[in-house]
Amino acid sequence: MKWGELEDEPCSMARTIGVIGDRWTLLILRECFLRTRRFEGFQSSLGITRHLLAERLKKLVRQGVLRRIPYQDSPKRHEYILTQKGLDLYPIMMAIVHWGDTHMVDIRGRPLLHQHRKCGKDFDPVMVCSECGEPLLAKEVHTHPGPGARRTPASAAPEKPKAKTEAKARTKAKTKATTRRRAA
Amino acid sequence: MKWGELEDEPCSMARTIGVIGDRWTLLILRECFLRTRRFEGFQSSLGITRHLLAERLKKLVRQGVLRRIPYQDSPKRHEYILTQKGLDLYPIMMAIVHWGDTHMVDIRGRPLLHQHRKCGKDFDPVMVCSECGEPLLAKEVHTHPGPGARRTPASAAPEKPKAKTEAKARTKAKTKATTRRRAA
DNA sequence: ATTGACAGTTCGTTTTTAGAACTGTATGAA
DNA sequence: TTCATACAGTTCTAAAAACGAACTGTCAAT
């Protein structure tokens, strides 16, 4: 499986990983949420090579996560700012930070604290069920196939017939579609 | 910044990325949460090269995310199962899946649905404030330095004096430590 | 006229990954 | 007994990606 193929997998996680699943992209997005907007800003705070930075920014723009907006003409200069799609990555960022805060801090404690403007307190992010509001535990969640489960819905792409090593035993997800989704 | 250096950054996000921030590791963890436990299981469902799989599993075990448990002798065989530290990655996984469900699905809809055993309903994960329970919006959160903010607390590691390109303008985070953390 | 900020691009070298084959133990079938 | 298969890796070479440093080009300030 190459980088580019991830977006085609019948798995929301694989698709998302295809967009943000590499270390630099994640760090660039961290900077975005910390209000960095310009090329030099990203470059100097991350120490990423300029080459890669340019490429990653391009990709994020292509994916609709960032928007490239001119902030001056001559020389043309642009800022990279989060779109709504990009802002929606916030829970992912917070979940990542929180895990680090819980499992990767040294004795000195957390590098950053987060204050919630609404209530004024420093907080931790907690993931809850949209239906009942209870905190989510992995063992209390049952995963089952949805309408977009199989790679091809018995039509679409003919699944290029490369025999090869014949990996992909992905036989789980039998396409049963017990849907009943509410608006996300 | 090389891979190995991420763990030393004064940033919970960078540290976490140092552990799980590459596409294969994330996909391996997805499989773990879907109950895959053995080498062949990971290999065939992901199509990852055996070489990389072995390496990634080793790293996850080293990091305490997975535990390697023998399930038979002769030939010695082991299963890889999530530790508590690993299970704690669940919110990250769910946040990633949810973003994909929101922004990366085709017309057919979601590949997987998640049912909450507690309430019986299919749900979406929602991230809320631990203090007031309100859903978190990026713009309502103010980030400020915590006790572990600077790379060195004015003692510890002497910050190897390589002049080099002198990146790392990370001058934000002035170390003020307004702590008042509650148990996470 | 020179320097510096800014946003890239180019290019040669080093690291990682991909891909495929090989190792070694053991079970079941012929 | 011999052969095939399952399983969990390891080894090796080629290809892809990342690194590092320098270079391009526009403009402002000195």
Residue B177 lies in a domain: no
Predicted local confidence at residue B12, as pLDDT? 96
pLDDT at residue A159 tops 50: no
A15-67 pLDDT tens trace: 999 999 999 999 999 999 999 999 999 999 999 999 999 999 999 999 999 99
Average pLDDT over residues A74-101: 96
In chain B, the number of structural domains is 1
By CB neighbour count within 10 A (0-12 exposed, 13-18 middle, 19+ buried), where does A174 fall? Answer: exposed
B8-44 pLDDT tens trace: 889 999 999 999 999 999 999 999 999 999 999 999 9
Look at A3-7, A58-62, A120-124 and tell me which has the smallest mean pLDDT: A3-7
Nearest to B79 by CA among B88, B68, B64, B94: B68
Predicted local confidence at residue A156, as pLDDT? 37
Q: Do the Cβ atoms of B35 and B23 come closer than 8 Å?
A: no
**CA gap A12, B101 in Å, rounded:** 6
Predicted local confidence at residue A93, as pLDDT? 98
Amino acid letter for position B116: H
- Closest-CA residue of chain A to B138: A90
Average pLDDT over residues A154-169: 33
Average pLDDT over residues A79-101: 98
pLDDT band at B150 (very low <50, low <70, confident <90, very high): confident
Predicted local confidence at residue B6, as pLDDT? 87
Average pLDDT over residues A141-165: 60
Average pLDDT over residues B45-52: 96
- CA atom of A76 to C1′ atom of D26, Å: 8
Residue A153 lies in a domain: no
Residue A94 lies in a domain: no
**Is B163 part of the contact surface with chain A (CB cutoff 8 Å)?**
no
pLDDT at residue B115 tops 90: yes
Q: What angle do CA B28, B39, B12 make, to 5 degrees?
A: 30
Average pLDDT over residues B132-158: 79
The helix (H) or strand (E) run that includes residue A103 is: helix A90-103
> Which CATH number do you get for residue A16?
1.10.10.10
Residue B44 lies in a domain: yes
Strand D nucleotides within a 7 Å radius of protein CB atoms:
6-12, 17-22, 25-28
Look at A5-14, B16-25, B60-69 and tell me which has the smallest mean pLDDT: A5-14
Q: What angle do CA A7, B16, B60 make, to 5 degrees?
A: 80
Residues 85-104 of B with CB under 8 A from A: 85, 87-104
Answer whether B16 sits within 8 Å of A96, measured CB to CB.
Answer: yes
pLDDT at residue B179 tops 80: no
Q: Mapping DSSP to helix (H, G, I), strand (E, B) and coil, where does residue A22 land? A: strand
CA atoms within 13 A on the CB side of A147: 10
Predicted local confidence at residue B151, as pLDDT? 66
Look at A3-12, A173-182, B12-21 and tell me which has the smallest mean pLDDT: A173-182
Structural domain that includes position B95: 3-140
Residue B78 lies in a domain: yes
pLDDT at residue A176 tops 80: no
pLDDT band at A158 (very low <50, low <70, confident <90, very high): very low
pLDDT at residue B3 tops 80: no
- Closest-CA residue of chain A to B114: A143
DSSP string, chain B: --GGGGGGSS-HHHHHHHHH-BHHHHHHHHHHHTT--SHHHHHHHH---HHHHHHHHHHHHHTTSEEEEEEETTTTEEEEEE-HHHHTTHHHHHHHHHHHHHHS--TT--SEEEEETTT-SB--EEEEETTT-PBP-GGGEEEEE-TT-SSSSSSSS------TT---------------PPP-
Region of B64 please: left (phi>0), alpha (psi -120 to 50) or beta.
left
pLDDT at residue B87 tops 90: yes
Predicted local confidence at residue B121, as pLDDT? 98
Q: Do the Cβ atoms of A63 and A19 come closer than 8 Å?
A: yes
- How many helices (H) and strands (E) would you count in chain A? 6, 5
Residue A113 lies in a domain: no
Predicted local confidence at residue B8, as pLDDT? 86
Average pLDDT over residues B113-135: 97
Residue B172 lies in a domain: no
Average pLDDT over all residues of chain A: 84
Neighbours of B126 (CB within 10 A): 19
pLDDT at residue A164 tops 90: no
Nearest Cβ partner for A95 among B19, B95, B147: B95
Residue A21 lies in a domain: yes
Average pLDDT over all residues of chain B: 84
Of residues A102 and B175, the one with the higher pLDDT is A102
Amino acid letter for position B60: L
- Closest-CA residue of chain A to B143: A114
- B22: tokens are 């590459």
Region of B173 please: left (phi>0), alpha (psi -120 to 50) or beta.
left
Q: Mapping DSSP to helix (H, G, I), strand (E, B) and coil, where does residue A94 land? A: helix
Predicted local confidence at residue A151, as pLDDT? 64
**CA gap B65, B19 in Å, rounded:** 9
Q: Do the Cβ atoms of B114 and B100 come closer than 8 Å?
A: no
Of residues B96 and B152, the one with the higher pLDDT is B96
